[in-house]
Every structure is written in structure tokens, then in C-alpha cells.
Amino acid sequence: MIQLTRLNRSSVTVNSDLIKLIEQAPDTVITLVNGEKLLVRESIGEILDRIVKFRRSIAHGPGSADASGLVAGAASETPNQAMDSSSKTGSEHAR
């Protein structure tokens, strides 16, 4: 979900998965898959940035990457290594 501003300055939260297209003419018009249209103050670029940021936060989970792409306090092992080590039995860890 992304937070946008209607032309009357009221706030609206939009499910970005339901956006069909975005037009700038001269106001920004968002058309949803159900045909509903929203007029918002943000530019197409701002909306796209918010969608990308939202989807990255979903992909990386809570406490996700900072601007450098690194997760603060994350272990150095990869997700596959973590899964491999968590699936081993106690006797395998002892080796």
C-alpha cells in the first residue's frame, strides 16, 4: 500500500497491485483495474518510487535494507546457508 495525496490535500492509501495505469495530463490520474480513477498531487516518478520502495520492503521483510542495500545486524550467512544449517540434526552440527 502506498500513501498519496488527492488534489484537495486529503490523504488516500492505494493498493499498488490494483493500479492499471498512471497518466500525467496535467494532473496525475491513476486508473485502477476496476476502472476507478484517482486524481493525485504526486508525479508519476514519485508514485513509481513509492511503489518500488513498498515492494522492496515486502521482499526484504521488516527491518529491511538501508540505502546501501545492507541489512543492519544481519548474519553473514546467506538464506540458503541458514536454511541448510537449521535443517541439520543435532549430530550433524557436532561434526
In DSSP notation, 4-40 reads EEBTTS-EEEE-GGGEEEEEESSSEEEEETTS-EEEE
The pTM (predicted TM-score) of the whole model is 0.63
* pLDDT reported for residue 63: 63
pLDDT tens across the length of the chain (95 residues)? 999 999 999 999 999 999 999 999 899 999 999 999 999 999 999 999 999 999 999 998 766 554 434 333 334 444 444 444 444 444 444 44
Helix (H, G, I), strand (E, B) or coil at 55: helix
* pLDDT reported for residue 77: 43
Burial state string for 6-25 with b = 16 or more CB within 10 A and e = fewer than 16: eeeeeeeebebeebeebeee
* pLDDT reported for residue 62: 67
